[in-house]
Amino acid sequence: MRYLVTGTAGFIGFHLAKLLLERGDEVFGFDSVNDYYNPRLKEARLEILGKYPNYRFERKNLTDAESVGAAFKDFQPEVAVNLAAQAGVRYSLEHPQAYIDSNITGFLNVLEACRHFPVKHLVYASSSSVYGNRDNTPFSESDSVDEPISLYAATKKSNELMAHTYAHLFGVPATGLRFFSVYGPWGRPDMAAYIFAKRIWAGETIPVFNEGNLYRDFTYVDDIVSGVVSVLNTPPRPNAKGVRNKVYNIGNHRPEILSRFIEVLEEKLGKKATIEYLPLQPGDVLRTCADITEINRDFGFVPKTPIDVGLGKFAEWFKAEGYKY
């Protein structure tokens, strides 16, 4: 099949594209390769993907509506997967415009392309951040998500609303996936596993917020990608109003306290961390936990990787490759 995947220089996009290419599908990658984090890491991912003859790549920004439309028109994807976004909660406090450009304008351009060059299915990345600072866990898709505590979360909630609108008005079948704390080899340097590993490896102090009393539904990237793949070729059925639009949680369903996460990482790296405890940061949530009942029911999704296994694989990659970035 033909898949257009935005964000193939990014963490999840790279892993998804690689799996699709390995099984013989055609992939058109679309990514601006910006400098939000070290572009050398993104280029290294792209170098791996570029070895596959069934991979094409366009180095453009999603805000360029003409280029997005041209990619859809030329490649004629059967399925579009939008994983490109300006990520990160704390970065949104200082750089709000980047989130409006990438996550709102960029996603609008993807929706418009799906409207004018119809696809069988649009799958896009949402985030567990949409749940805000809730007391009740696990987080369910039926919970209200009207109180985001970061602009990043607000843009992801907006994506869900935009997708529903295009499904309703123009018949674009769309599925949003609320990712929960993804980690693994080739991961993002702004996320916990990478930040901690790099500082532990260098003998530097690691910042730990709220005395380490934060719970995250850490989900290994291979589990995430298997879940995405299971969804790709099954567009939502029409709901009672005839709209083909759906949102799923996709997470581990086993939250870990941050202090335990650090202990396992220390063990796998073979080095002890020097920790600086800091207050809870604006935009942070205390606990995340995915209710995965719906995606399990509809697609049989079951995460299989505990953190001792997942962090072991991450640490192996980091010691061989990741420390360079």
Residues known to be catalytic: 152
Residue type, 30: F
Question: Does residue 278 contact residue 311 with C-beta atoms inside 8 Å?
Answer: no
**Please, which residues bridge with residue 121 across strands?**
79
What gap in Å lies between CA 171 and CA 178, rounded to an integer? 22
- Strands (DSSP E) contained in 88-237 are 121-127, 174-179, 182-183, 205-209, 215-216, 219-220
> Which residues have C-beta within 8 Å of that of residue 54, sequence separation ≥ 6?
21, 24, 25, 26, 27
Q: Are 220 and 252 in contact (CB under 8 A)?
A: yes
Judged on CB neighbours under 10 Å (0-12, 13-18, 19+), 183 is buried
Could you check whether the bond before residue 138 is cis, i.e. omega within 30 degrees of 0?
A: yes
Long-range contacts of 47-53 (CB under 8 A, 24+ apart): 48/14, 48/18, 49/8, 49/14, 49/17, 49/18, 49/21, 52/18, 52/21, 52/22, 52/27
